[in-house]
Amino acid sequence: MFNLKYFTSLKVVIGLMALLATEVKAKSTRAYVNPLNGKAVDLFIVVDESNAYMNSMHLGLVKTALNEIATELNPAGSSPFFGVYFYGATQAIETVVPFKTSLASSLKTYLEKKQYATAQTSPSTLNMALDAVKRDCLAQCRPIVPRVTVVISNLPDYTARATIRQLEKDSSMTVIVVGIGSTATATIMNQLATYPAKYYAIPVSTYYELIMASPHIGSTISDVPRNLNISNALHIPTTTNGVYHTVQLNTQSHATTNDMIIMFSSNCPSCSVFGSLSEPNPTSTNTVANTNRRSFFAYSGYPNSIYYFRVPKDTGRFFLSFLANGMSGVNIWKNINEMKECIIPVILVCLLRIEWTTTSKSNSDIRNSSSLNCSQYTDDDEILVSFPFHVDMNPLTRMLTKTNGLMNDEGHIYHLNIINQKFFPLTIFCLKHLQQLYIRNMSFHNTNHRLPSEIDRLASTLISLSIYNSRLTHLSEQISRLKHLQSLELVNTNLMELPYSIGNLSSLTFLYLANNQLSSLPDTIKKLPVLSQVVLKNNLYLRSIQSLNGLPNLKGLQINNCPIEQLPMNLPYLTDLQMSKSNLSHLIGIRTLGYKTKNNKYFYFNNNHIQSIPPQIKYVNNLYFLNLNYNHLITLPLDIFNIATLHYLYIQNNHFSDNELKKIVAKFTVTHPYMTLYYTKSNS
C-alpha cells in the first residue's frame, strides 16, 4: 500500500476526479518531494571569467560560493554529481571540476587548483561552455535525477538563448542564471533562464552577495523536479471488435517503489471502464468493473509493469493520473484519436494540467469573419477550441517546436507559445488575461502580413510580445494601446517600419528588432520614458538612429551590422554601446553618452572606418572597455592616456606604423600599467 504521508496528494487527485463531468484542473505548485529527499542532482556550474568583470579576488569569492553550494547539496546519504566550467578568458573552455565529481570535498580540491586566467585573444563564450555541458551530460547524466546548469556571469550573453532552449529540449536541463551587478539586466536574465524566470533568474549585486545567496541557489537547485524520459509510456496497441480500445500504460522507469497509484477515467458518462495488470483485454469477466463510476483505481502498483485499461469506442478522451515514489505524478487528458502509437515524454512533477483540444473552427470560418466577436465564448477553454491547431496546456516540458500555453488555477490562460503554425487565429485576442504571447514560424498570410488591429483587446494585460522567424512587415497603430507592454521582440520578420504611435508605449523597457528591413525609426520613439535596452542589429537599410537621441533611460544599444554613419547623442545613462560592422568614420559626440552615470562604459566600434579619435573621449564618464579593432587609425590622441578608468583597449588591425605602435605601447605601460592592451603590427 502507499505511504500514508502521501495521502494528501491522493485526496487532491480524488477531488479532481469528482469534477470530471465539467472541468478538470490541477493546481500547479513547486512543492516537490524527490525519492532521494532532494539529495540527488546532476549539477553543471558555468562561470564567466571575462577579465572585464572578474579579477583574482572575485575568483576567490566565486570559489567560496561554489563550495557553499556543493556542501549544501552533499549531506550524508546524498549522491550529487558536479561539473564546473570556466569561460571568457581562455580560448578553450576550462573544465575545472570534471563532471561526475561526487563529493563536495573533491570539488573543493579541484577549485583550489584553479588559478586566475588572463584574457586571451578570441576568448571562449557561453555558447561554447553550454556545448561542453551538453556533451558531458549526454555521455554521463543519470536518467532519473534532476539536471541543472547554473550560469554565473556579470553580463550573460543573450545570444546563448537558443543554445539554452535546445539544452532544455535535448537534455531536459533546467538553467539557472545568476547575474552579478547592474550589467546583468533583468531582461536578459529572464530571457535566458528556464521558465518561470522568477524561480530561475537570480540577481545579486556583488560577488560578496553571491556568497550570501549560495543557500538560496542551493535550495533552488534542490527544488528542480527529477526528469524521467519515458518512450512509449502510453499508447493504444489494439482495437477489439470495433467496440472498445485498450489503453496501455508501461510503468518501466516510472517508479522504484511499490507505492504506485493509478487512476483512470473516460468521459463517457454511462460506460464501464476495466483495468488489469496482466490481462491485455480486460473485460467484466476477467477483472473488476467500475460501472457508471467511469474510473479504475489500482493501488499498490508495481514498477516495470504494464497496465491495461479498456475504454468504450464512444470515449472521446480519457483521464489518467499516475503517482509514484510519493510524488504527485502526471495527470493527462488525452484524445483517443491522437493515441495511435504516440510517444509521450513524461516528467513526474507536481499536479499539472495538460489538455489536448479536440475540435476547432475551420480556417474558412475564421477567415470569413468580418469582425471578432468574443462574447460567444464563456471561458478560455472555449477560445482554445476555436484555434485551428492544438495547444498543450501546462506542459511538463516546454518545447520550442510545439505549441503550448500556461493556465492558472482560475482557468485563465496567461502565457501562449504558438510554434510552426500556418494560420493566425484572431480569437487569440479574446484571451482577457493573456500576459505573454510568443510566436515563432507563423504565417500571417490571413492578416496580409500585418499585426491585426485587434491586438488592442489585450491592452490591459499584455506585457510581452515576441515574434520570431515570421513574415510580419507592418505593425498596427493600435499597438500603441498596449499600456502595460514591457518587452517587444520582432526578430527576422521582414519588418519594414515602426508605427508612429509606438511612442505611446509608456511601459516599454526592452525593444528587440534584429534581422529586419527597417530603413528609419519614427521620431516618437524618443518619447519612451523607461526604454532601457534596444537591439537593432542586422538591419541592412538602417542608416540613421538619430531618432533615439535624448532617450532618458537607455542603458544598452546594439546596432551591429547596420550602415550607421553617426553616433547617437545625448543618451545620459548609456553604458553599453555596440556598433561593430557599421559605417562610422568618426566618434564625434561620444562625450554625450552616459554622462549622468558613473557605471563602467563598454563601447564596441570595431570593424568600421574610423580614422581618428576625438580629444573629447577623455570626458566619457568611467570609460572601461573600448574596442577599436579593424579601423583606419594611424595614431591615438594624447587625451586617451589620461583616462584613468580605461582597463581594456583593443586596437588590433589598424594602420599604425611600427614606430607609432611602439610609442603607444610604451606610453600605456607608464600611464596604465594594469590595463589590458590588444594590438598587432601594421596591416598597411
CATH of the domain at 62: 3.40.50.410
The range of the structural domain enclosing residue 478 comes to 364-531
Nearest to 16 by CA among 24, 8, 7, 5: 24
CATH number of the domain that residue 654 is part of? 3.80.10.10
pLDDT at 620 over 90: yes
Where is the domain boundary, 201, 223, 245?
A: 223
Most confident of 142-151, 198-207, 499-508: 499-508
**Looking at residue 314, what is its pLDDT?**
53
**Looking at residue 344, what is its pLDDT?**
30
Do 121 and 150 reside in the same domain of the chain? yes
Q: Give the lowest-confidence range in 241-245, 487-491, 527-531.
A: 241-245
**Looking at residue 532, what is its pLDDT?**
94
**Looking at residue 333, what is its pLDDT?**
45
**Looking at residue 273, what is its pLDDT?**
61
Considering its fold, how many domains does the chain have in total?
Answer: 4
Coil, strand or helix at 214: helix
Do 547 and 681 reside in the same domain of the chain? yes
Do 200 and 298 reside in the same domain of the chain? no
DSSP 8-state code for residue 480: G
Quick check: is 329 in a domain?
A: yes
pLDDT at 390 over 70: yes
Do 250 and 132 reside in the same domain of the chain? no
Do 208 and 284 reside in the same domain of the chain? no
Do 627 and 521 reside in the same domain of the chain? no
Do 395 and 502 reside in the same domain of the chain? yes
pLDDT digits (tens, 9 = 90+) for 165-176: 888 877 878 899
Quick check: is 651 in a domain?
A: yes
CATH number of the domain that residue 237 is part of? 2.60.40
**Looking at residue 464, what is its pLDDT?**
93
Asked if residue 392 lies in contact with residue 402, where contact means CB atoms within 8 angstroms, the answer is yes
Do 267 and 278 reside in the same domain of the chain? yes
Nearest to 181 by CA among 159, 157, 154: 154
- The region, left, alpha or beta by phi > 0 then psi within -120 to 50, assigned to residue 228 is beta
pLDDT at 511 over 80: yes
Element (H, E) at 414: strand 413-421
Main-chain phi, psi angles of 177, to 5 degrees: -110, 120
Do 53 and 170 reside in the same domain of the chain? yes
Residue 303: which residues within 8 A CB-CB, separation 6 or more? 251, 252, 253, 254, 255, 256, 257, 258, 260, 324
Most confident of 139-143, 242-246, 528-532: 528-532
Where is the domain boundary, 354, 374, 394?
A: 354
Q: What's the mean per-residue pLDDT of the chain? A: 77
**Looking at residue 166, what is its pLDDT?**
84
Nearest to 121 by CA among 57, 62, 51: 51
Quick check: is 23 in a domain?
A: no
Quick check: is 233 in a domain?
A: yes
What is the rounded distance in angstroms from the CA atom of residue 540 to the CA atom of residue 333?
A: 48
Asked if residue 338 lies in contact with residue 389, where contact means CB atoms within 8 angstroms, the answer is no
**Looking at residue 35, what is its pLDDT?**
37
Q: Could you tell me what percent of the chain has a pLDDT over 70? A: 71
Q: Give the lowest-confidence range in 62-76, 245-259, 364-378, 452-466.
A: 245-259
Q: Could you tell me what percent of the chain has a pLDDT over 90? A: 44
Quick check: is 291 in a domain?
A: yes
**Looking at residue 286, what is its pLDDT?**
57
**Looking at residue 187, what is its pLDDT?**
80
Do 432 and 290 reside in the same domain of the chain? no
pLDDT digits (tens, 9 = 90+) for 420-447: 888 888 999 999 999 999 999 888 877 8
Beta-sheet strand order (sheet of 306-312): 234-240, 244-250, 306-312, 274-276
Helix segments in 274-356, DSSP class H: none
Q: Is 383 exposed, middle or buried (0-12, 13-18, 19+ CB in 10 A)?
A: buried
Main-chain phi, psi angles of 181, to 5 degrees: 85, 180
Quick check: is 20 in a domain?
A: no
Query: Where does the pLDDT of residue 399 fall: very low under 50, low under 70, confident under 90, or very high at 90 and above?
Result: low
Element (H, E) at 126: helix 126-140
Residues paired with 246 in a beta bridge:
238, 310
Q: How many CA atoms lie within 13 A of 87 on its CB side?
A: 22
Do 551 and 663 reside in the same domain of the chain? yes
Quick check: is 563 in a domain?
A: yes
Query: Where does the pLDDT of residue 680 fall: very low under 50, low under 70, confident under 90, or very high at 90 and above?
Result: confident
**Looking at residue 560, what is its pLDDT?**
93
Nearest to 533 by CA among 515, 512, 556: 556
For residues 138-150, give the mean pLDDT: 83
CA of residue 26 relative to chain centroid, distance: 24
Residue 136: which residues within 8 A CB-CB, separation 6 or more? 44, 83, 99
Q: Give the lowest-confidence range in 356-365, 448-457, 589-598.
A: 356-365
pLDDT digits (tens, 9 = 90+) for 282-319: 665 555 544 444 455 444 444 455 566 666 555 555 55
Quick check: is 26 in a domain?
A: no
Asked if residue 77 lies in contact with residue 220, where contact means CB atoms within 8 angstroms, the answer is no
Where is the domain boundary, 531, 565, 593?
A: 531
pLDDT digits (tens, 9 = 90+) for 18-47: 323 223 232 323 333 333 344 678 899 999
Do 58 and 164 reside in the same domain of the chain? yes
What is the rounded distance in angstroms from the CA atom of residue 461 to the CA atom of residue 106?
A: 50
